[in-house]
């Protein structure tokens, strides 16, 4: 089992550029979550999908953020345009079909916007 | 609304000593409760979970936690800490809309 895969692991970009973060959940898991972690705000849920459908995006900071899940094995989180305050570690997590709600986290993408 | 409070930002214990990390929650119904551990530069790893039944749950790496409904607490314990346990520990409550505490950073002294 490869676990949740995220790419890239590190991203440095300039303000105003588009950033795309990628996630491959664990095979067979039907829920996928995107989180943001910062020192100031801790771990925040941005959005989660169930069976590829966005269920709750109330944590998405603003319209500059968007997320998609075109199929069960791939999701993206896009920031356009990026701003320095978006600098954070972004985690993807997936959860199995059983109603256990336990989440398995990827290693994260450290985003730096200069 | 559900919420989690971890009162201790940072705890230091000596290797071999016992450990207890505190967690208090607010939740409208019977909570789903979790403890996760995060090592530097890594994602979060599930240590243990509580849904129902026995209020003392065992997890990986020798950790256990006890659910106390009357105190709205779910404290994490380990009888003897190892240097490799140094990490950040997060308590979480909820289902799909999980909420995490701010975390407790554990330092282990040799």
Tens digit of each residue's pLDDT (9 = 90 or more) over B70-106: 999 999 999 999 999 999 999 999 877 788 999 999 9
pLDDT, position A99: 62
Residue A24, pLDDT above cutoff 90 = yes
Least confident among A65-74, A79-88, B16-25, B87-96: B87-96
Set of chain A residues whose Cβ sits within 8 Å of the Cβ of B23: none
pLDDT, position B52: 86
The tokens 């959940």 sit on which residue? Answer: A25
Beta-carbon contacts of residue A48 (< 8 Å; ≥ 6 apart): A31, A32, A33, A34, A54, A55, A56, B96, B97
Which of B34, B42, B43 is closest, CB to CB, to A102?
B34
Residue B97 and residue A45: Cβ atoms within 8 Å?
Answer: yes
């Amino acid at each position: 089992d490869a676990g949740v895969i995220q790419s890239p692991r590190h991203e440095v970009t300039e303000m105003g550029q588009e950033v795309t973060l990628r996630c491959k959940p664990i095979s067979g898991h039907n829920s996928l979550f995107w989180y943001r972690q910062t020192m100031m705000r801790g771990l925040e849920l941005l959005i989660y999908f169930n069976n590829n459908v966005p269920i709750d995006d109330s944590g998405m900071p603003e319209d500059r953020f968007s997320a998609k899940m075109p199929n069960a094995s791939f999701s993206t989180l896009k920031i356009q345009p990026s701003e320095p305050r978006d600098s954070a570690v972004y985690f993807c997590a997936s959860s199995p079909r059983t109603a256990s709600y336990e989440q398995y986290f990827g290693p994260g993408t450290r985003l730096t916007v200069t | 609304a559900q919420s989690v409070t971890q009162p201790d930002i940072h705890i230091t214990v000596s290797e071999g000593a016992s450990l207890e990390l505190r967690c208090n929650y607010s939740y409208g119904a019977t909570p789903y409760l979790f403890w996760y551990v995060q090592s530097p530069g890594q994602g979060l790893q599930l240590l243990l979970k509580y849904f129902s039944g026995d209020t003392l749950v065992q997890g990986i790496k020798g950790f256990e936690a006890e659910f106390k409904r009357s105190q709205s607490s779910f404290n994490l314990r380990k009888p003897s800490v190892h240097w490799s346990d140094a990490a950040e520990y997060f308590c979480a409550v909820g289902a799909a809309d999980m909420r995490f505490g701010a975390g407790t950073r554990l330092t282990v002294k040799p």
